[in-house]
Amino acid sequence: MNNYAEMPAWYDWAYGISEIGLYLVCVLAMAFLVVLTTLGVAAYRGRANRAIPSTLPPGFVTAVVLPISLVISLLVNDIWRKYSDAQDTVVAEASTVADAVRAIHRLPADSSAELNGLMYAYVHGDVPQDWRTYQTRRTPIETRSALNEMEFRVARLLQSPQIDLPARATLAVLASDLTDLDKLRKKRTQLSAGRLDNSRWAVLCVLLLTGLAVLVEVVYGQRKNYFVSVGLFVMGYGTLIYMLVTHDRPFSGETIVSHHPIAEAYANQLKSFQAR
């Protein structure tokens, strides 16, 4: 059970703080880049009140910053799409659990009780454990899960000569539902890992520093323009970085795709049987 070693180690800390705190950290990180870049420009331009106007044309800022904005926007779009996929996967898993519960309810009493107990163990045991494991950036152990036990029991029942045709048809439907559940579980495990590894963050930092250096160079010595420009840069790009961080791991942190829809679908299906 290996860690996703290529992922930033600070992710564990970032996903452990509040959303407001994480947003402030992202904005302050951008402000730190502004200070760092300003010091670098000041090292060769001299004091701001004595600096001569930049010879770089203002349009050069757009030529540099626009591609950087496009790259970051593509990253945000990719992460957001992954987050939406995680939501869709959980909703699909909840719907499949409800279908499986309906199939289990149609089986003979002894088989129904056994399989319903395993489904309860999956919904209230395996699934929450998966989410706890996602917080540690590890891959959940798939062996000896209640879902696997259900698959084995259903396969064994299908081979039993004592099962009549209606029950056999129901077991075939249940087997299909369990196969879908297994695929959905593996899919959300795949989605749980972040995509922005250390190399991508390094490239992103270099791009931001490049665009910021051009911006500071153009407005250096112009006090009002400087503060307006870097202020907008910090808020705009700080917010984009926040979007990247908070949604890169959809099952971690406070902005999280919860497993509660799965438990709710299971409970609601049981209530519908009791209400009959």
CA quadruple 269, 270, 275, 276: dihedral sign:
positive
Residue 2: per-residue pLDDT: 44
Asked if the structure places residue 87 within a domain, the reply is yes
Residue 120: per-residue pLDDT: 95
Asked if the structure places residue 9 within a domain, the reply is no
Asked if the structure places residue 69 within a domain, the reply is no
Residue 50: per-residue pLDDT: 65
Render each residue's pLDDT in the chain as its tens digit; 276 residues.
444 446 677 777 777 788 888 899 999 999 999 999 888 888 877 776 666 666 677 677 777 778 888 888 888 888 889 999 999 999 999 999 999 999 999 988 888 999 999 999 999 999 998 888 887 766 655 556 899 999 999 999 888 888 888 888 999 999 999 999 999 999 998 888 777 888 888 888 888 888 888 888 887 778 888 899 899 989 988 998 888 888 888 887 766 788 999 999 999 998 888 776
CA distance 139 to 3: 8
Asked if the structure places residue 51 within a domain, the reply is no
Closest to 174 in 3D by CA, of 104, 268, 92 = 104
Structural domains in the chain (count): 1
Residue-wise over 227-241: b if at least 16 C-beta within 10 A, else e? Answer: eebbeebbeebbebb
Residue 5: per-residue pLDDT: 43
Residue that is written with structure tokens 């700080």 in the block: 238
CA distance 127 to 121: 9
Asked if the structure places residue 128 within a domain, the reply is yes
Residue 3: per-residue pLDDT: 45
Asked if the structure places residue 155 within a domain, the reply is yes
Asked if the structure places residue 184 within a domain, the reply is yes
Asked if the structure places residue 37 within a domain, the reply is no
**Residue 96 lies in domain:** 78-194+249-275
CA 183 to chain centre: 18
